[in-house]
Amino acid sequence: MISAEAARADLAQLYQTLQHAHFDLYANRSHSDYEQRYQQLRRKLEQPISAFDLQIELQKFTAYGQVAHARIDFPALEFERYRAAGGSMLPLELKLRDGRIFVVGNPGSESQPQAGDQILSINGEPAAAWRSRLLAHVSADNDYLADTLLELRFGALLWLELGEVASVQLDLRSADGSLSRVSVATLDRAQMRLAAEKRSPSLALNWSKREARMLDRGLAYLRPGPFYNDDPEAASVWDSRGFSDFVERSFAQFAEANANSLLIDLRDNPGGDNSFSDLIVRRIADKPFRFCSQFRIKISEATTASNAARLAQGFSEVSAQFAELYAGQQPGEVVNFELPWVEPAPPEERFSGQVYVLINRYSYSNAVTVAAMSQDYGFATILGEETADLASTYGAMEQFTLKNSGLVVGYPKAHIIRPNGDPS
């Protein structure tokens, strides 16, 4: 257990550091509203509290700012232990649209709820109230991003609020307007696997798969997978050599097949680093490019320390550039980090046909950046669903550690504006 005094000290450190280091803590919340939330939580922390519960409270405080890149991560280790020990969770697959919650899949049963049913209430409480309750845990800049993240985490966040329960009562409205009340059993992992085996095959995207192949009528298909090295045996997650080989082989294959058009599939792509994605973009670019028009950084002690810690772990060219930029600057100053231009590949290595980039609401981070660059520079035509993540964003995360709980807090040190200069 953490004493009330220690918990309050961590809260004070959290708030003060966010005020000093976050590029704009009050971008989406007023100073007075945040002060009120701080005092409310401080009064609440009057008794000893478990590390788990403190993590939840402090993340909700951080998420109150409505900036996706300011967060304390979900307690994944505790949730994994719970699930590994046979813990159950709500198995439904959900979509949120305009604040309403719809069922799109029910792996645990072929009866109700069915795809298309709208959830009106959960355990007797209106669905809208549950949405607000669960979104308090989610760091997101707008409702669209918040709802998209909630779709992915609904069952886990419901576990945070309810703990382990055998079932959840739902009031439903079906597509034909009829109303019903059902009790949905929660499932453990073994039950979820069994249910999945019984389901009919469905279209599902593998976010980690790297694929290059020819389709009909000269159309080349490229699904690059994440823009980082997800090989568990890789020396570094940022080792791009294998990815570079994949890109080279893919475009050689397309050239040999005389491809006349290219579809780059970034649906469900989690993003990563431009040192990976630039290897693709330079193959479709006809002019120099960079992933943003402005990269403005707020100087702070926390950011300088976080960057120094990264440098101490090994040489990083960008971190070294940051260190040089920060030298001699005063905390609170905002400086512009001038990004270098990336040159297109030589003409013989470029793809000269029509290029399309396919995205959806689950395209995140650097995948959104690739789509924005492709659109703003005219390198490709964008297809698919609007992304939930933002092309202009508060980002370039750094982190600091709370002294008593050891919780790690991520925050955005920079305001990054897409290539066309639109800050929205």
**This model's pTM is above 0.75:** yes
- Residue 170's pLDDT is what? 97
Q: What does DSSP say about strands 354-359 and 261-265: parallel, antiparallel, or unpaired?
A: parallel
- Residue 233's pLDDT is what? 83
Residue 5: pLDDT band with limits 50, 70, 90 = very high
Residue 112: pLDDT band with limits 50, 70, 90 = confident
Residue 200 has pLDDT above 80, yes or no: no
pLDDT tens-digit series, residues 269-294 = 999 989 999 999 999 999 999 999 99
pLDDT tens-digit series, residues 122-142 = 999 999 999 999 999 999 999
- The two three-digit tokens of residue 339, written as one number: 């990004």
pLDDT-wise least confident of 19-28, 111-120, 338-347: 111-120
Which option is the CATH number for 211-417: 3.30.160.150, 2.20.25.160, 3.90.226.10, 3.30.365.10?
A: 3.90.226.10
Taking the CA atoms of residue 413, residue 414, residue 415 and residue 421 in that order, the dihedral angle to the nearest 10 degrees is -170
Amino acid at 390: L
The helix/strand/coil state of 167 is: strand
Which stretches of 170-329 are DSSP H helices? 189-198, 241-256, 274-284, 301-312, 317-326
The helix/strand/coil state of 317 is: helix
Can you tell me which residue has the tokens 């982190």? 399
- The two three-digit tokens of residue 184, written as one number: 């949905």
- Residue 142's pLDDT is what? 95
Q: What is the mean pLDDT of residues 69-81?
A: 96
Q: What does DSSP say about strands 211-214 and 219-223: parallel, antiparallel, or unpaired?
A: antiparallel
Neighbours of 101 (CB within 10 A): 23
- Residue 57's pLDDT is what? 98
- Residue 202's pLDDT is what? 57
pLDDT tens-digit series, residues 182-194 = 999 999 999 988 8
Given a contact cutoff of 8 angstroms between Cβ atoms, the answer to whether 110 and 116 are in contact is: no
CA distance 411 to 405: 18
- Residue 239's pLDDT is what? 87
Amino acid at 149: L
pLDDT tens-digit series, residues 242-260 = 999 999 999 999 999 999 9
CA distance 270 to 362: 8
Given a contact cutoff of 8 angstroms between Cβ atoms, the answer to whether 84 and 76 are in contact is: no
Q: What is the DSSP string of 60-116?
A: HHHHTT--TTSB----HHHHHHHHHTT--B---EEEEETTEEEEEE-TT-SSSS-TT
Given a contact cutoff of 8 angstroms between Cβ atoms, the answer to whether 405 and 2 are in contact is: yes
Residue 316 has pLDDT above 90, yes or no: no
Q: Where are the domains of the chain?
A: 4-83, 87-198, 211-417
Residue 143: pLDDT band with limits 50, 70, 90 = very high
Q: What does DSSP say about strands 393-401 and 381-384: parallel, antiparallel, or unpaired?
A: unpaired
CA distance 12 to 402: 10
Q: What is the mean pLDDT of residues 33-61?
A: 98
The percent of residues in the chain predicted with pLDDT above 70, rounded, is 97
- The two three-digit tokens of residue 323, written as one number: 């260190």
In a 10 Å sphere around its CB, with 0-12 CB exposed, 13-18 middle and 19+ buried, how is residue 15 labelled? buried
Residue 317 has pLDDT above 90, yes or no: no
Looking at domain 87-198, its CATH class is: mainly beta
Average pLDDT of the chain to the nearest whole number: 94
The edge-to-edge listing of strands for the beta sheet with 261-265 is 211-214, 219-223, 261-265, 354-359, 381-384
Residue 277 Cα distances to 223, 226, 271, 361, angstroms: 12, 9, 9, 19
8-state DSSP, 187: B
CA distance 138 to 67: 9
Task: Find how far residue 327's CA is from the centre of its chain.
Answer: 31
Q: Which residues contact 157 (CB under 8 A, 6 or more apart)?
A: 134, 137, 138, 150
Q: Residue 223: which H helix or E strand, with range?
A: strand 219-223
Length of the chain: 424
Question: What's the N-to-C CA distance of the chain in angstroms?
Answer: 43
8-state DSSP, 387: P
pLDDT tens-digit series, residues 381-416 = 999 999 999 999 999 999 999 999 999 999 999 999
Radius of gyration of the chain (CA): 23
Residue 205 has pLDDT above 80, yes or no: no
- Residue 231's pLDDT is what? 87
Neighbours of 53 (CB within 10 A): 14
